[in-house]
Amino acid sequence: MKRKATRHALLYVGVALTCAILVFPIYWLVVTALSEPSQLRQLPPSFWPDKPRWGVFGQIMAERPILLWLGNSALAAIGAVTISMVVSVLAGYSLSRFRVRGGQSLGLFILTAKMLPATLLVIPLFGIFRNLELIGSLWSIILAHATLIIPFTTWMLKGYFDTIPRELEQAAMVDGCSPLGALVRVILPVSAPGLAATALYGFVLSWSDYAYARTFLTNAQGNWTANLGITTMKGEYISNWSDISAASILVALPILAIYLFLERYLVGGLTAGAEK
Amino acid sequence: MPRSAFLDLARPSRRHWLGYLLLAPAVLLIALIIVYPLFVSVDLSFQNVNIARLDQPRRPFTTANYERLFASEEFWNACWVTFKLVTIVSFFCFLLGLGTALLVNNRFKGQALARLLVALPWAIPEVIAVVIFAWLFDSSFGLMNWLFIRLGLVDQTINWFSSPDAAFAVVTTVMVWKGYPFVSIMMLAGLQSIPEDFYNAAKVDGARAWQRLLYITIPSLMPVIGVTLVLVMLWVFRDFSIIYVLTGGGPLKATQSLSIMTYEQAFGFFKMGYASAIGVITLIVCVIASRLMIARAPDNI
């Protein structure tokens, strides 16, 4: 019995140590944000500020257009997710329920599209958007983010619809629902958790983008997204690490919140389409 | 109910106009924003264009971009950097991801919290991860320099971003930290699908812990490991944000991967045709890799 207790204690120490090391960079981000800039230039460093300046978040929002950046990121993400969800709900349902000529090759193509490098697509998209005079407008990244999101959401939703028994629509149609009515009134309500998880996953993809925002929006300061804004702060001659850290926390918070909510569904999202 | 009589969903072999109609918006959108740009990209790679202007007449067909590319030292350097990155980052992502997965797969109090914490870096946007590590590795007041000196590993501060090897090491560190949670999440899912009976049977036969790991856990995980490995390698291969924001590909092109080189040529020097040629090469690699993955993917994860 004693051996088992030792093993158990070792396990706890191991887990605690691993978590501490791996999460430390995030902890350090928080410490940096809460420290006075002058304090950061002291050695040895202090691992918790004497007087945490909790006001830093309000202050940074007043000094920098963080709220504008966050708002732009949110607008872009909502736009891209809305477009993607509409087309992927329909496509995912079709791929799950119908055998359509070319459906399988479409599925395979979408799967491959998930693996496309952004640095490849960004060049032709830049040319196309310039013709359409979309460079500098949020529409450019809404459309570009849709290229990232649609492949994911279509496969996630197809997988989700596959788990819903066909008898549900069957019953609805016997009761006089049209096939589309069955989708809207029966299948979508039952799939609400899956739809929410999928949409949030798309939101994370859009929110995390840097390449497209950097290319299409650099010259349109008013439309900068959060990630783009943060990198310009980092690029300034004298980096004020506490301000950058505080701003970074504000940018990361929505994604952290989504992660806590999504954790259960994460595996489904990450592997969507990985299975045949 | 004449219409519903036509649509018998219990027989999926049935082709139905509604199936096509539902696919139409996705097909249209994908054709416009993915397929068409891909064609433009391939087309550009065979032209001598500096700025992608689609309203101008097409330049004559030429393979000059590819000839220049294969003769360029910069391209082979980028291939080598990409190869090193993919190998090293994937290796450490697996070591750390599998390790943490095995650790938190044990039963203990607070397991749910531990699982949440070990995968937390997944939820940090890449740009923010770069901010965190750029400060940790700051040349004057960064914590890492202080730690390295305290531990006696070095006797003076390292200027992480001006030495090629040090910069490469920092890029690798950020990528591993950002990438291992994915492996961890995938491995945990895989571990949970291994039937408990396997272990019980092995225990009855007197198998030790390391034997159970070697003969049950690893072989059972093999299909998941395969898919995860391809996905991680593709992620490193394609990644742009981490390297671009952290080092911009420098110093002395020590961290210039193929993605960074593509972007620099396209938007730094406006050689869109040349950049597209590099892009097409990366596309071919990605397609081959994703086909490999689809071919060996397990039926359920």
The tens digit of pLDDT for each residue in A209-218 reads: 999 999 999 9
Q: A178 contacts in B (CB within 8 Å)?
A: 3-4
- Say whether residue A88 is in contact with chain B using an 8 A CB cutoff: yes
In this prediction, residue A248 carries a pLDDT of 94
| Cβ <8 Å between B14 and A29 | no
- Spatial contact of A216 and A144, defined as CB atoms under 8 Å apart: yes
Residue whose C-alpha is closest to residue A254's, from B124, B278, B43? B124
- Say whether residue A221 is in contact with chain B using an 8 A CB cutoff: no
Q: How does residue B86 score in pLDDT terms, banded at 50, 70 and 90? A: very high
State which residue of chain A sits closest to B123, comparing Cα positions.
A256
The nearest CA of chain A is from the CA of B136 a distance in Å of 8
In this prediction, residue B4 carries a pLDDT of 42
Q: At what angle do helices B272-296 and B64-71 cross, to 10 degrees?
A: 80
Tokens of residue B283, six digits = 């596309």
pLDDT at A237 over 80: no
3-state SS string over B108-151?
CCCHHHHHHHHCHHHHCCHHHHHHHHHHHCCCCCCHHHHHHHHC
- Spatial contact of B241 and A210, defined as CB atoms under 8 Å apart: yes
Indicate the pTM of the whole model: 0.89
| Cβ <8 Å between B238 and A115 | yes
In this prediction, residue A110 carries a pLDDT of 84
In this prediction, residue A269 carries a pLDDT of 58
Residue whose C-alpha is closest to residue B290's, from B237, B215, B218, B222? B237
- Residue B148 CB neighbour total at 10 angstroms: 16
Q: What is d(CA A14, CA B76) in angstroms, rounded to the nearest whole number?
A: 43
| Cβ <8 Å between A150 and B30 | yes
Mean pLDDT on A217-244: 87
pLDDT at A54 over 50: yes
- Spatial contact of A60 and A243, defined as CB atoms under 8 Å apart: yes
Q: How does residue B296 score in pLDDT terms, banded at 50, 70 and 90? A: low
Sequence letter at residue A157 = L
- In three-state secondary structure terms, B8 is coil
Apex A91 CA angle, A89 and A96, nearest 5: 95
| Cβ <8 Å between B26 and A143 | no
Query: In this structure, is the dihedral angle defined by the CA atoms of residues B273, B275, B281 and B284, taken in order, positive or negative?
Result: negative
Give the distance, in angstroms, between the CA of residue A24 and the centroid of all CA atoms in the same chain. Answer: 22
Give the distance, in angstroms, between the CA of residue B11 and the centroid of all CA atoms in the same chain. Answer: 39
- Residue B105 CB neighbour total at 10 angstroms: 16
Residue whose C-alpha is closest to residue A128's, from B46, B285, B212, B33? B33
In this prediction, residue A1 carries a pLDDT of 57
Lowest mean pLDDT among A53-62, A69-78, A164-173: A164-173
Of B29, B132, B245, the CB nearest to A210: B245
Q: How many CB pairs under 8 A join A and B?
A: 319
| Cβ <8 Å between A98 and B12 | yes
Interface test with B, best of A12, A82, A120 (most B CBs within 10 A): A120
Tokens of residue B259, six digits = 């993605």
For the stretch B231-288, pLDDT in tens is 899 999 999 999 999 998 888 899 999 999 999 999 999 889 999 999 999 999 988 8
Tokens of residue B48, six digits = 């001598």
| Cβ <8 Å between A106 and B275 | no
pLDDT at A123 over 70: yes
Q: How does residue B132 score in pLDDT terms, banded at 50, 70 and 90? A: very high
In this prediction, residue A270 carries a pLDDT of 59
Tokens of residue B87, six digits = 């190998």
pLDDT at B21 over 70: yes
| Cβ <8 Å between A18 and B299 | no
For the stretch B192-240, pLDDT in tens is 888 888 888 888 888 888 888 888 888 888 888 888 898 899 999 999 9
- Residue B25's alpha-carbon distances to A84, A155, A188, A196, B6, in angstroms, are 10, 15, 18, 21, 23
In this prediction, residue B55 carries a pLDDT of 66
| Cβ <8 Å between A112 and B126 | no
- Residue B146's alpha-carbon distances to B102, B140, B142, B155, in angstroms, are 32, 9, 7, 10
- Who wins on pLDDT, A182 or A270? A182
Count Cα neighbours of B298 within 13 Å in the Cβ-side half-sphere: 15
- Spatial contact of A155 and A271, defined as CB atoms under 8 Å apart: no
Q: B188 contacts in A (CB within 8 Å)?
A: 267
pLDDT at A169 over 90: no
State which residue of chain A sits closest to B268, comparing Cα positions.
A215
- Who wins on pLDDT, B74 or B110? B74
For the stretch A244-275, pLDDT in tens is 999 999 999 999 988 888 777 766 555 555 44
- Say whether residue A20 is in contact with chain B using an 8 A CB cutoff: no
In this prediction, residue A48 carries a pLDDT of 86
In this prediction, residue B7 carries a pLDDT of 56
Residue whose C-alpha is closest to residue A87's, from A157, A171, A137? A157
The nearest CA of chain A is from the CA of B100 a distance in Å of 8
State which residue of chain B sits closest to A115, comparing Cα positions.
B286
Range 138-197 of A in CB contact (< 8 A) with B: 143-144, 146-147, 150, 154, 166-167, 169-170, 173-174, 176-180
Residue B230 contacts by C-beta under 8 Å, 6 or more apart in sequence?
A: B289, B290, B292, B293
- Spatial contact of A153 and A88, defined as CB atoms under 8 Å apart: yes
- Spatial contact of A15 and B108, defined as CB atoms under 8 Å apart: yes
Q: How does residue B94 score in pLDDT terms, banded at 50, 70 and 90? A: very high
Of A83, A115, A178, the CB nearest to B286: A115
Q: What is d(CA B121, CA A213) in angstroms, rounded to the nearest whole number?
A: 22
In this prediction, residue B2 carries a pLDDT of 41
Q: How does residue A193 score in pLDDT terms, banded at 50, 70 and 90? A: confident
- Who wins on pLDDT, A269 or A14? A14
In this prediction, residue A166 carries a pLDDT of 83
The number of residues in chain A equals: 276
Of B134, B143, B263, the CB nearest to A234: B134
For the stretch A83-104, pLDDT in tens is 999 999 999 998 888 888 787 7
Q: How does residue B54 score in pLDDT terms, banded at 50, 70 and 90? A: low
Apex B164 CA angle, B163 and B169, nearest 5: 95
- Residue B224 CB neighbour total at 10 angstroms: 22
In this prediction, residue A81 carries a pLDDT of 97
